[in-house]
């Protein structure tokens, strides 16, 4: 793959020598992302160091008819940053990592898109504020990537997901012109809700340069628990029962036996390795009394649903261990086989027991090892298939099982993706969840905003 030398030298003149990469080893680093898909090397990688240069890079690519894939940290799990086939540019946001403002009175943060999620969370916490969206990847993922995929996290049940915190943004359109939408105010109905359109747009409609994110005062009290169940169905049933009891935990996570054992052998946290499933639960709020009462009710509901044991964290160390267990589910499973295929089909909360059962059936029918964990309170489970991509016979069974997971989720009135996005991986399923007219409508929006079809072209809507 190659692009005209004159274009590379123009990129170097405008962006600087150290912001343009064309060496094979550099290109290979950006040929893939966290999804298990093919590798496609771009022709050039650009790393603009200012917002103005980001806009110029976008404009230059567009004028040169060079397809663009914008990349934060590449942790997406849907192939959303696999470059386009043929000559293309990857634009990195890693140097656009400034927290421009944290406003204590008006409760917002103004950031560049390459700021790492947990860095913002820590910076606002240091000022006594709270940015709730906390994807499992928060130590690595960027806020631009979070917005472009509408990332969720462990606190989604009570605090919502990235879309609930996006107040506005600046973005570059296909030609590199600056577009502004939203505001620093709580209310703003000026113009179309372009920030809403950009949410979950997966780099296909514009390139974000500044984000305005809502902040909250932090909860004053919280309690974390681990409920142990012999049968996974009981744990899954407890999820809907807790919410039906009018308690809204901030976090309500599920892990099945395979995950529990994998995490325990990896981290030695003291998890119950004979359990069929565990729920990891945190309740929080404005007063210790209210939180204590919620925690007690959660315990009653779990016991009614068959919990054999409920452990409550007695100090911050124990609480940290509970969440360490959950955050290590994927890394622990990934140690077991060469390839992990992680799905995020999502169902209405009350259908979680049916989904968990269906995944177990599919796994045994396709003779595959599967661990299930995830944001059960959001109906968003992550069945994780452990396999070896180099074995074509096994991988064919994996692909059949993935189709089965989507089919089941849609039959249960769920959705293809709760948070990981459509990217390359699920684009062919879009019409099945929606309809032809929806796909055509989306294509018309895309064509209007990107007439040459250069912005992450093969992703999301095909």
Ligand X SMILES: Cc1cc2nc3c(=O)[nH]c(=O)nc-3n(C[C@H](O)[C@H](O)[C@H](O)COP(=O)(O)OP(=O)(O)OC[C@H]3O[C@@H](n4cnc5c(N)ncnc54)[C@H](O)[C@@H]3O)c2cc1C
* Binding residues for ligand X (CB under 6 A): 33-34, 69-77, 80-81, 93, 113, 135-137, 141-142, 144-146, 148-149, 151-153, 202-203, 207-208, 330, 419-420, 456
Least distance to ligand X, CB of residue 343, Å: 12
Place of tokens 């305005």: 212
| Residue nearest ligand X, CB atom distance | 145
Taking the C-alpha atoms of residue 96 and residue 115, their distance in angstroms, rounded to an integer, is 7
Q: By C-beta, is 113 or 272 nearer to ligand X?
A: 113
Q: By C-beta, is 73 or 415 nearer to ligand X?
A: 73
DSSP H or E segment with residue 334:
helix 329-334
Q: By C-beta, is 142 or 222 nearer to ligand X?
A: 142
Residue 28 contacts residue 41 (beta carbons within 8 Å):
yes
Least distance to ligand X, CB of residue 386, Å: 15
Taking the C-alpha atoms of residue 77 and residue 80, their distance in angstroms, rounded to an integer, is 8
Least distance to ligand X, CB of residue 97, Å: 11
Taking the C-alpha atoms of residue 404 and residue 401, their distance in angstroms, rounded to an integer, is 5
| Tokens encoding 419 | 């948070």
Least distance to ligand X, CB of residue 295, Å: 24
Least distance to ligand X, CB of residue 9, Å: 25
User: Could you tell me how far CA 430 lies from the centroid of its own chain?
Assistant: 18
Backbone angles phi, psi at 80, to 5 degrees: -70, -15
Beta bridge partners of 227: 279, 310
Beta bridge partners of 256: 277
DSSP H or E segment with residue 109:
strand 108-111
DSSP-derived 3-state class of residue 258: helix
Q: By C-beta, is 74 or 414 nearer to ligand X?
A: 74
| Tokens encoding 68 | 């663009």
Least distance to ligand X, CB of residue 364, Å: 26
Taking the C-alpha atoms of residue 68 and residue 119, their distance in angstroms, rounded to an integer, is 27
Least distance to ligand X, CB of residue 455, Å: 8
Question: Cα separations (Å) of 186 from 165, 182, 213, 403?
Answer: 11, 10, 11, 42
Least distance to ligand X, CB of residue 206, Å: 7
| Tokens encoding 246 | 């009018």
Residue 1 buriedness (CB in 10 A; 0-12 / 13-18 / 19+): middle
Backbone angles phi, psi at 59, to 5 degrees: -60, -45
Q: By C-beta, is 69 or 408 nearer to ligand X?
A: 69
Q: By C-beta, is 175 or 290 nearer to ligand X?
A: 175
Q: Which of 161, 131, 130 is nearest to 147 (CA)?
A: 161
Least distance to ligand X, CB of residue 414, Å: 16
């Amino acid at each position: 793959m190659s692009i005209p030398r004159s274009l590379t030298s123009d990129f170097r003149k405008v962006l600087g020598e150290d912001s343009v990469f064309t060496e094979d080893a550099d290109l290979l680093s950006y040929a893939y992302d966290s999804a298990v898909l093919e590798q496609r090397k771009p022709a050039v990688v650009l790393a603009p160091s200012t917002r103005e240069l980001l806009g110029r890079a976008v404009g230059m690519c567009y004028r040169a008819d060079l397809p663009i894939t914008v990349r934060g940290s590449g942790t997406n799990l849907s192939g959303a940053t696999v470059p386009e086939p043929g000559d293309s540019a990857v634009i990195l946001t890693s140097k656009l990592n400034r927290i421009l403002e944290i406003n204590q009175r008006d409760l917002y943060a103004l950031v560049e898109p390459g700021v790492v999620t947990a860095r913002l969370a820590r910076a606002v916490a240091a000022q006594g504020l709270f940015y709730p969206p906390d994807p499992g990847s928060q130590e690595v993922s960027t806020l631009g990537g979070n917005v472009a995929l509408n990332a969720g996290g462990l606190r989604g049940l009570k605090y919502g997901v990235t879309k609930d915190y996006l107040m506005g943004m600046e973005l570059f359109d296909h030609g590199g012109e600056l577009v502004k939408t939203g505001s620093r105010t709580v209310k703003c109905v000026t113009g179309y809700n372009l920030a809403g359109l950009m949410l979950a747009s997966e780099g296909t409609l514009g390139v974000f340069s500044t984000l305005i994110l809502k902040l909250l005062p932090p909860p004053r009290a919280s309690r974390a628990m681990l409920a142990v169940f012999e049968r996974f169905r009981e744990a899954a049933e407890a999820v809907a029962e807790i919410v039906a009891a009018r308690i809204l935990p901030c976090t309500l996570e599920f892990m099945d036996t395979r995950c529990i054992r994998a995490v325990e052998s990896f981290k030695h946290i003291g998890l119950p390795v004979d359990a069929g499933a565990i729920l990891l639960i945190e309740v929080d709020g404005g007063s210790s009394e209210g939180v204590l009462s919620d925690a007690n009710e959660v315990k009653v509901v779990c016991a009614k649903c068959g919990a054999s044991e409920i452990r409550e964290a007695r100090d911050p160390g124990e609480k940290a261990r509970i969440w360490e267990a959950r955050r290590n589910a994927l890394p622990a499973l990934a140690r077991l086989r060469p390839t992990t295929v992680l799905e995020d089909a999502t169902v209405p909360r009350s259908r979680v027991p049916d989904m968990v059962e269906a995944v177990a059936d599919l796994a045994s029918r396709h003779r595959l090892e599967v661990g299930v964990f995830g944001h059960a309170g959001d109906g968003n489970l992550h069945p994780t298939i452990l396999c070896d991509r180099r074995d074509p016979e096994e991988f064919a069974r994996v692909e059949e099982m993935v189709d089965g997971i989507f089919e089941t989720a849609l039959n249960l009135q769920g959705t293809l993706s709760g948070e990981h996005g459509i990217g390359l991986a699920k684009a062919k399923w879009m019409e099945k969840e929606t309809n032809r007219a929806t796909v055509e409508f989306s294509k018309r929006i895309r064509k209007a905003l990107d007439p040459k079809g250069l912005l992450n072209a093969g992703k999301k809507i095909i």
